[in-house]
C-alpha cells in the first residue's frame, strides 16, 4: 500500500462517519485551540506589563528597607549627593487609609512624596497641578488623586477645589491624575499623593517606605544600583536590610514571572491535547474491534501486517491532523474575540501555533500506534470469522 492510498483510505473513512470523526477529533481541536488562545492571553498580559514598565524607563532604581530597618527621610539628601553625577531622589512614604468626602467614603493608598515624583514619568495630570515645592515646605494639607480615587469619591465631577478627609484631617484636592491602567503600575490609580512633610505629621513617623532613584542617563542605572548597594553595606552597614533594585532587575523578575505564567497556560493546554490523544486512542481501539472482519479480509487478499499497521496509523494521524487544523482555525477565531470579551489583549504567537500542530501530529502518531499494532497483530482466520 502506498502513502497516497493510505491517506485516501483514511480520509474516506473519516468522511463516511463524520459525527464519529468530529467526536474523535474534539479533544485535539480543543487542545490545539486552547494552546493558541491561552498562550496568546499569556503573551498579551506580559506585553502589557512590559510596556508599562518601559514607560517608566530603564533608569529607575528602587531602594526599600526591610521591616524594622531605620530608613529616615534625612537619607534622601545623602543618597542624592552620593554620586558624582546628578541623581533625582524621590522619597515615598506610604500607608493605607480610609478616605471620605461629605457624601462618600472609600479606602486609598496615601503616598507622601515630593514634586519630583511627577518627573519619574508614568503619570500625567488630568486637572489641577501636582504637589508644589511651596506646598512641601509649608507642609500644606493638599492632595492629588489617582484616577480611581477621583471616580470613587467624586464620580464624574471635577474634584479640584473640593475637600477630603484623610485620617481625620482635612485635605484640599489640588490635582487629579489620568488613569494609568492595569499592570503593576496600576497602584497609582488608587493612590492619593500628599506632601511628604504633611505625611510625616499625619503618619507620625520620619521613616520612608521607599526611595525612587532616577539617573538622567539609562547607562548609569546599574552603576548607581551597585554604588547604592555598596553605600548601604559600608556606610550604613545594612545591605541586607535595604534592597536596591534597578528597573532592569524588576523587568527581569517580571519576565521570569510572565514566562512561568505562559508555561503554566501552555502546560494546561498540553494536558488538554494529551486527553485528546487518549480520545483518539479509544475510538481507534473501538474502530479496530469493529473492523476486525475487514482486517481479516484485507489480510486474505494480500495485505501484510505492515499494511494494516500503516492503514490504522494513517487514520489516527489524519484524524489528529484534521483536528489540529480545525483547532488552529478555532483558536485564531477565539483569540480575536478575547480582547472584545475579556478586555485583555491577546498576542498571537507563531511558535504556539507550530507547537500545537506538531504536538497534535505527534499525538496521532503516539496514540494511534497501540491500536494499529493491535490491528496488525490480528490472526486473519479469527478476524474473518469475527461477527460484530
List residues binding other proteins (CB under 8 A): 1-2, 5, 8, 13, 16, 293-294, 296-307, 380-381, 384
Residue 314: helix, strand or coil by DSSP? Answer: helix
Q: Smaller CB distance to other proteins: residue 3 or 68?
A: 3
Q: Smaller CB distance to other proteins: residue 1 or 362?
A: 1
Q: How far is the CB of 24 from other proteins (least distance, A)?
A: 16
Bridging pattern class, strands 163-166 and 142-145 = unpaired
Please give the backbone phi and psi of residue 167, each rounded to the nearest 5 degrees, phi first: 50, 45
Q: Smaller CB distance to other proteins: residue 235 or 306?
A: 306
Q: How far is the CB of 4 from other proteins (least distance, A)?
A: 8
Q: Which three cell numbers stand for residue 345?
A: 489583549
Q: Smaller CB distance to other proteins: residue 2 or 103?
A: 2
> Cα separation of 35 and 43, whole Å?
12
Q: Which three cell numbers stand for residue 142?
A: 493638599
Q: How far is the CB of 16 from other proteins (least distance, A)?
A: 6
Residue 26 burial (CB count, 10 A) = 16
Q: Smaller CB distance to other proteins: residue 228 or 303?
A: 303
Site of grid cell 491500536: 371
Please give the backbone phi and psi of residue 326, each rounded to the nearest 5 degrees, phi first: -65, -40
Q: How far is the CB of 315 from other proteins (least distance, A)?
A: 13
Closest by CA position to 153, among listed 210, 99, 114, 201: 99
Residue 98: helix, strand or coil by DSSP? Answer: strand
CA atoms within 13 Å, Cβ hemisphere of 78: 11
Q: Smaller CB distance to other proteins: residue 236 or 386?
A: 386
Q: Smaller CB distance to other proteins: residue 157 or 304?
A: 304
Q: How far is the CB of 381 from other proteins (least distance, A)?
A: 5
Q: How far is the CB of 21 from other proteins (least distance, A)?
A: 13
> Cα separation of 44 and 346, whole Å?
4
Q: How far is the CB of 14 from other proteins (least distance, A)?
A: 12
With b meaning 16 or more CB within 10 Å and e meaning fewer, what string describes 264-287?
ebbeebbebbbebbebbbebbbeb
> Which residues lie closer than 8 Å to 207 by C-beta, 6 or more apart?
65, 70, 71, 72, 73, 93
Q: Smaller CB distance to other proteins: residue 36 or 310?
A: 310
The separation between CA 3 and the C-alpha centre of its own chain, rounded to angstroms, equals 44
DSSP label at residue 108: E
Q: How far is the CB of 367 from other proteins (least distance, A)?
A: 23
Amino acid at each position: 500500500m502506498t502513502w497516497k492510498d493510505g491517506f485516501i483510505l483514511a480520509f474516506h473513512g473519516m468522511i463516511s462517519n463524520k459525527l464519529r470523526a468530529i467526536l474523535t477529533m474534539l479533544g485535539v481541536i480543543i487542545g490545539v485551540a486552547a494552546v493558541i488562545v491561552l498562550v496568546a492571553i499569556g503573551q498579551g498580559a506580559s506585553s502589557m506589563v512590559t510596556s508599562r514598565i518601559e514607560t517608566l524607563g530603564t533608569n529607575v532604581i528602587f531602594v526599600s528597607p526591610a521591616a524594622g530597618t531605620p530608613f529616615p527621610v534625612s537619607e534622601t539628601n545623602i543618597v542624592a549627593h552620593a554620586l558624582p553625577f546628578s541623581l533625582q531622589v524621590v522619597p515615598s512614604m506610604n500607608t493605607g487609609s480610609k478616605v471620605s468626602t461629605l457624601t462618600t467614603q472609600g479606602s486609598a493608598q496615601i503616598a507622601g512624596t515630593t514634586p519630583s515624583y511627577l518627573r519619574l514619568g508614568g503619570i500625567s495630570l488630568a486637572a489641577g497641578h501636582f504637589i508644589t515645592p511651596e506646598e512641601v515646605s509649608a507642609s500644606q494639607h493638599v492632595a492629588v488623586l489617582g484616577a480611581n480615587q477621583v471616580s470613587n469619591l467624586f464620580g464624574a465631577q471635577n474634584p479640584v477645589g473640593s475637600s477630603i478627609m484623610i485620617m481625620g484631617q482635612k485635605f484640599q484636592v489640588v490635582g487629579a491624575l489620568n488613569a494609568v491602567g492595569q499592570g503593576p503600575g496600576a497602584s497609582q490609580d488608587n493612590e492619593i499623593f500628599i506632601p511628604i512633610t504633611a505625611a510625616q505629621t499625619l503618619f507620625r513617623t520620619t521613616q520612608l517606605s521607599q526611595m525612587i532613584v532616577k539617573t538622567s542617563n539609562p547607562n548609569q542605572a546599574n552603576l548607581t544600583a551597585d554604588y547604592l548597594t555598596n553605600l548601604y553595606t559600608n556606610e550604613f552597614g545594612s545591605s541586607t536590610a535595604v534592597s536596591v533594585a534597578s528597573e532592569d532587575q524588576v523587568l527581569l523578575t517580571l519576565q521570569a514571572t510572565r514566562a512561568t505564567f505562559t508555561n503554566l497556560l501552555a502546560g494546561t493546554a498540553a494536558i488538554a491535547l494529551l486527553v485528546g490523544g487518549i480520545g483518539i486512542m479509544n475510538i481507534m481501539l473501538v474502530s479496530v474491534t469493529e473492523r476486525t472482519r475487514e482486517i481479516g479480509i484485507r489480510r486474505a487478499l494480500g495485505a501484510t501486517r505492515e499494511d494494516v499497521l500503516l492503514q490504522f496509523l494513517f487514520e489516527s494521524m489524519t484524524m489528529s491532523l484534521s483536528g489540529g487544523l480545525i483547532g488552529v482555525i478555532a483558536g485564531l477565531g477565539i483569540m480575536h474575540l478575547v480582547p472584545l470579551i475579556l478586555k485583555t489583549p491577546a498576542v498571537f504567537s507563531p511558535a504556539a501555533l507550530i507547537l500545537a500542530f506538531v504536538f497534535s501530529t505527534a499525538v496521532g502518531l503516539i496514540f494511534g500506534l497501540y491500536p494499529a499494532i493491535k490491528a496488525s497483530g490480528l490472526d486473519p482466520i479469527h478476524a474473518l470469522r469475527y461477527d460484530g
